Amino acid sequence: METTTNSSSSSEGQLIIPVPSTPGASVPLKESYTHHSPIPTAEGPYILGVDEAGRGPVLGPLVYGVAYCPEAYRDKLEGLGFADSKTLTPETRSSLLQTLSSDPDNLGWSVRVISPQAISSGMLRRPPINLNQQSQNATVMLIKDILDKGIILSEVYVDALGTTSTYQAYLSNQFPGINFTVESKADFKYKIVGAASVAAKVTRDACLEDWTFEETEYTAPEIELGSGYPSDPKTQAWLKSGLDPTFGFPKVVRFSWTTVKLLLEKEGQAVKWIDEGQASLIKAFESAQGLDKDRCGLARELGIRSIAAL
């Protein structure tokens, strides 16, 4: 999916900078996509950082970000102000994304935006694709994309996901010849991971702030979505107001989250499938499988035969 230029804004509605990694104004986020900045031209090898934004929220996408620069650029990177995006104000994060885009010869970044629809369908399928697996897939995809674009990576720093030693061994096996460091709080320890954190956080926030509902018949409550975290009072209020008892929630919601499941069970309309308890259908399928010697009339009408007969 191609992305177009959008803009981020402060809580007061003041325009800050373009956010090129979002779908665009009034464009619904219907599927997961990847956005890449222009590829740097400086001589490598390069270092790369990986971080995410939005693992915990019940609303909106999960965004994985990477940032990369030549090894020789590392000292300059230290003075640019990158850090764990959660410790920065929205205005500072937006300014740092502009910084990340200001030196295209040396700095590159990418994001993988995993839609809430994809998160839900993955976690609710059988067998499920849990959030750790989806996160791992996004990380591998981003690193592979950068390598495929001709960037030579020597070192990759990753914010922890699960058991650090296991994940580090997995990534090293996937990409032999690259030195991987997987650590908790890597966005605080390594500036290149802080840069990736900024790219991911600014993208996710802009996606949620400018969310356009795909459901044209849905009447959204006239209150803010909030941060999307279940503990956010604004998000809690939106969830309670935004639930349709029959049709549930729009696709901005992650249906696999316990918060949503409990609301649907409590406030949603109970559904009973029409074939539940229908003895004639049960008897028909039993006879089709050779479990009933006297095939009923319904089975004959439907042309149902046993596997043995076939």
Binding residues: 51-52, 159
> Does the CA dihedral 192-197-200-201 come out positive or negative?
negative
Angle between helix axes 116-124 and 131-148 (nearest 10 degrees) is: 130
Q: Kindly report the backbone phi and psi dihedral angles of residue 20, in degrees, each rounded to the nearest multiple of 5, phi listed first.
A: -70, -10
Interatomic CA distance for residues 234 and 250, integer angstroms: 17
Q: Which residues are annotated as a binding site for a divalent metal cation?
A: 51-52, 159
Long-range contacts of 73-79 (CB under 8 A, 24+ apart): 73/42, 73/106, 73/107, 74/47, 74/191, 74/192, 76/106, 77/191, 77/192, 77/195, 78/191
What are the residues facing 276 on neighbouring strands?
A: none
Interatomic CA distance for residues 187 and 205, integer angstroms: 18
Q: What's at 120, amino acid-wise?
A: S
**270 burial via Cβ count (<10 Å: 0-12, 13-18, 19+):** exposed
Interatomic CA distance for residues 200 and 196, integer angstroms: 6
DSSP-assigned letter for residue 128: -
Using the CB atoms, write b or e for 156-180: b if 16+ within 10 Å.
bbbbebeebeebbebbeeebeebeb
DSSP-assigned letter for residue 151: P
